[in-house]
């Protein structure tokens, strides 16, 4: 199987997001029937989140605040008291899992540097240890080895920072045993249901190859090579553990489908599911019954196709009580008869429930953010419009409550990635801005994932060009609808969305009244020069997708679309936020454009946090950022 890769950055999601205003009214102060919700309520840590069942199903673990940082707590089912088993005070924990009934594993980095370490701790909080205590080394989980209670399979780039070797790791002693040596081109390792490495993905920079071996003692053979634009991604081995895998494939088709692939021949043998409009996302399965269960895909929101009657009946049962919300089964015990269930909607972070299938008992564990009342929040509605060259762009519009949808101040919010997408869900930033009286427009501009290969490829080498046009066209559409006051439009984004923000005020200077750039790229040359070492195998791919500085034509285009070289065009006030330890968008990206703007006396405020990386995670830093953002928007989006 392919385990949950808690730490792996996919190349598809490359960048994954104070001015004072005295004696002036904010947009919300002119609204009726809307309460101004405290800013902290949107961005403070949940009371409890990330629930997980122990393998035997008699304990739960979850994340909860301790000194304003998310730490792991464990609790025996039926008991009222929980025990905190970690003591992190500098940074939230984000990912953990039960390794066996006595021990949990979690990952953490240091100051946002994304060099994650794997830690082990007993459920009583004792014997906590760093299993990968190596400086400037990043760990990846290859396989949790659920049938081996004392071992996991991990990838480490300690021998070569650009590539990951697979190691069998003893979680009690920290002993590492090398399982194979990466020859320099393997980007992922694939195990079968016994935890044996049977396949791998290799790259030469632009072409990906699937390697296969019959047993872990055999040599790998290349069975299929495709250009990176054509993706064949094994999900997991079929349950006979032979040569067939279930895979996501867009080979010879536009939309990714769920297929069966024979690794012995490299041939597709069966199409299990494909959607006419969007890519398939994943196919889940039952480890106990050894059958596929649900296929997921995203239209305007996440949807499921059931391929297993038992799981379909389970969802039907849960929907009887929870059907007002979207339902996700987030954890199960090893026997698959107890389930942690999460609910959510566009206006609610939802709740966690425990469902015991043997007794048909559904019990609420906790609300995620009980201080937010969904009746006070705003609907996120799907929209679509045409770009200037006729492409259909889909997205979401969230309107403030209590006012007519006419001549509103607007915050345009392009997503990061850029090869990612926005989805219908609860978004605290969107709800915060809408509560403050702003309409919020999100769009899945060309290149956004999930809409097929042609739509994705249409973004290649189009940073600042047609990708930016899609965003501008969304603003014009909103003005034509009469919703937006064209004099009160701001743009805000993080990561690639930060680049789009800078490009927006640079190349469409009359469109925006102000802008907020959050860990965004300002210079395509320095961005590509400073990518993390473990992205280097993808460098040729990035050159094809973004641009190759060594190519004169590409270089000219990159200079033309790098905002830092065109600050003379910028006239809208800017607020820029950056983490000093960001490994993806380095601090220099923000430093250089702030310096260039200040030389021209363009109004720019710069918030730099020395204990953050690619985005702010510590609660107090989020509070500071959004407080400054609110004041900044209030100042520049007031009705003249």
Asked if residue 299 is part of any domain, the answer here is no
Q: What is the pLDDT of residues 276-332, one digit of tens each?
A: 999 999 999 999 999 999 999 999 999 999 999 999 999 999 999 999 999 999 999
Residue 266: other Cβ atoms inside 10 A: 17
User: Which CATH number is 6's domain given?
Assistant: 2.120.10.30
State whether 406 and 320 are in the same domain: no
Asked if residue 188 is part of any domain, the answer here is no
Asked if residue 537 is part of any domain, the answer here is yes
Count: domains in the chain: 3
State whether 510 and 614 are in the same domain: yes
Domain boundary, last residue among 376, 402, 435 = 376
Task: Give the angle 350-355-358 at the CA atoms, nearest 5°.
Answer: 170
pLDDT of 639:
76
For 304, residues 6+ apart whose C-beta sits below 8 A from its C-beta are 294, 295, 296, 315
Among candidate residues 289, 209, 192, the one with its CA nearest the CA of residue 243:
192
CA-based Rg of the chain, rounded to a whole angstrom? 25
Task: Judge contact between 590 and 578, C-beta under 8 A.
Answer: yes
Asked if residue 193 is part of any domain, the answer here is no
Asked if residue 211 is part of any domain, the answer here is no
pLDDT of 467:
98
pLDDT of 280:
98
State whether 514 and 367 are in the same domain: no
Asked if residue 473 is part of any domain, the answer here is yes
Among candidate residues 510, 546, 507, the one with its CA nearest the CA of residue 528:
546
State whether 395 and 366 are in the same domain: no
From first CA to last CA, the distance across the chain in angstroms is 60
Question: Mutual orientation of helices 496-507 and 466-480 as an angle, nearest 10°?
Answer: 70
Could you please report the per-residue DSSP string of 95-132?
EEEESSSSEEEEEE-STT----EEEEEETTS-S-EES-
State whether 409 and 465 are in the same domain: yes
pLDDT of 94:
79
State whether 481 and 627 are in the same domain: yes
State whether 319 and 396 are in the same domain: no
Q: What are the residue ranges of helices labelled H in 99-231?
A: none
Query: What is the value of pTM for the model shown?
Result: 0.92
pLDDT of 34:
55
Residue at token pair 């918030």:
607
For 396, residues 6+ apart whose C-beta sits below 8 A from its C-beta are 300, 380, 381, 382, 383, 422, 424, 441, 442
Task: Judge contact between 322 and 355, C-beta under 8 A.
Answer: no
Could you please report the per-residue DSSP string of 565-608?
GGGGG--S-EEEEEETT-SSS-HHHHHHHHHHHHHTT--EEEEE
Among candidate residues 482, 463, 481, 475, the one with its CA nearest the CA of residue 512:
475
pLDDT of 531:
86
Domain boundary, last residue among 350, 376, 402 = 376
State whether 391 and 491 are in the same domain: yes
Asked if residue 247 is part of any domain, the answer here is no
Q: Which residues of the chain have pLDDT under 50?
A: 1-13, 16-26, 28-33
State whether 404 and 515 are in the same domain: yes
Residue 527: other Cβ atoms inside 10 A: 23
User: Which CATH number is 492's domain given?
Assistant: 3.40.50.1820
Residue 539: other Cβ atoms inside 10 A: 15
| 3-state DSSP assignment of residue 349 | coil
Task: In whole angstroms, give the CA distance from residue 74 to residue 512.
Answer: 49
Q: Which residues span the domain enclosing 74? A: 1-17+45-169
Adjacent-strand bridge partners of 298? 302
State whether 349 and 472 are in the same domain: no
Cα 165 to chain centroid distance, Å, stands at: 25
Task: In whole angstroms, give the CA distance from residue 72 to residue 156.
Answer: 24
State whether 52 and 68 are in the same domain: yes
Asked if residue 9 is part of any domain, the answer here is yes
State whether 408 and 531 are in the same domain: yes
List for the chain the helix, strand, coil content (%; round to 5): 20, 35, 45
For 217, residues 6+ apart whose C-beta sits below 8 A from its C-beta are none
Domain boundary, last residue among 114, 146, 169 = 169
């Amino acid at each position: 199987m392919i385990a949950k890769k808690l730490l792996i950055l996919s190349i598809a999601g490359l960048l994954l997001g104070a001015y004072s205003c005295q004696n002036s009214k904010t947009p919300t102060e002119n609204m009726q029937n809307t309460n101004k919700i405290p800013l902290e309520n949107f961005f403070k840590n949940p009371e409890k989140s990330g629930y997980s069942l122990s393998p035997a199903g008699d304990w739960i673990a979850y994340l909860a605040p301790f000194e304003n940082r998310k730490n792991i707590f464990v609790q025996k089912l039926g008991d009222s008291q929980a025990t905190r088993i970690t003591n992190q005070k500098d940074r939230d924990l984000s990912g953990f899992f039960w390794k066996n009934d006595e021990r949990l594993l979690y990952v953490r980095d240091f100051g946002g540097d994304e060099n994650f370490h794997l830690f082990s701790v007993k459920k009583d909080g004792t014997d906590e240890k760093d299993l990968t205590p190596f400086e400037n080394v990043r760990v990846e989980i290859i396989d949790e080895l659920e049938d081996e209670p004392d071992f996991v399979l991990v990838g480490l780039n300690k021998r070569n920072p650009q590539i990951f070797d697979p190691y069998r790791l003893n979680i009690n002693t920290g002993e590492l045993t090398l399982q194979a040596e990466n020859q320099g081109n393997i980007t992922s390792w694939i195990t079968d249901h016994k935890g044996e490495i049977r396949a791998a993905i290799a790259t030469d920079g632009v072409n990906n190859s699937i390697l296969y071996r019959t047993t872990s003692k055999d040599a790998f053979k290349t069975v299929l090579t495709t250009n990176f634009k054509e993706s064949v991604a094994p999900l997991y081995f079929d349950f006979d553990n032979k040569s067939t895998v279930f895979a996501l494939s867009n080979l010879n088709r536009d939309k990714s489908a769920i297929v069966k692939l024979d690794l012995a021949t490299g041939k597709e043998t069966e199409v299990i599911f494909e959607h006419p409009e969007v890519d398939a996302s994943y196919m889940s399965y039952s480890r106990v019954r050894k059958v596929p269960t649900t296929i997921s895909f995203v239209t305007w929101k996440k949807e499921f196709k059931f391929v297993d009657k038992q799981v379909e009946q389970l969802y039907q049962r849960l929907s009887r009580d929870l059907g007002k919300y979207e339902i996700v089964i987030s954890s199960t015990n090893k026997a698959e008869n107890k389930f942690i269930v999460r609910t959510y909607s566009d206006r609610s972070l939802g709740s966690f429930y425990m469902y015991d299938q043997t007794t048909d008992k559904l019990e609420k564990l906790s609300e995620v953010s009980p201080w937010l009342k969904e009746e006070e929040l705003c609907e996120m509605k799907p929209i679509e419009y045409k770009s200037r060259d006729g492409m259909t762009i889909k997205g979401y519009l969230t309107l403030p409550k209590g006012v007519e949808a006419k001549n509103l101040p607007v915050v345009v919010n392009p997503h990061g990635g850029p090869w990612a997408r926005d989805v219908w869900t609860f978004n605290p930033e969107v709800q915060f801005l809408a509560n403050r009286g702003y309409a919020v427009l999100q769009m899945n501009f060309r290149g956004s994932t999930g809409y097929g290969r042609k739509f994705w490829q249409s973004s290649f080498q189009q940073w600042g060009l047609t990708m930016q046009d899609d965003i501008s066209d969304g603003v014009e559409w909103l003005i034509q609808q009469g919703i937006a006051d064209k004099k009160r439009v701001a743009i805000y984004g993080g990561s690639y969305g930060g680049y789009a923000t800078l490009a927006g005020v640079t190349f469409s200077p009359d469109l925006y009244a102000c802008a907020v750039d959050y860990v965004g790229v300002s210079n395509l040359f320095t961005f590509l020069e400073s990518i993390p070492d473990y992205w280097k195998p993808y460098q040729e791919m990035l050159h094809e997708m973004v641009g190759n500085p060594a190519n004169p034509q590409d270089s000219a285009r990159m200079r033309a679309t790098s905002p830092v070289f065109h600050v003379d065009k910028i006239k809208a006030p800017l607020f820029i936020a950056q983490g000093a330890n960001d490994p993806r968008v380095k601090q220099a990206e923000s430093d250089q454009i702030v310096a260039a703007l200040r030389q021209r006396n363009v109004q720019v405020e710069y918030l730099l946090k020395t204990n953050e990386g690619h985005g702010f995670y510590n609660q107090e830093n989020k509070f500071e950022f959004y407080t400054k953002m609110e004041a900044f928007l209030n100042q520049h989006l007031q009705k003249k």
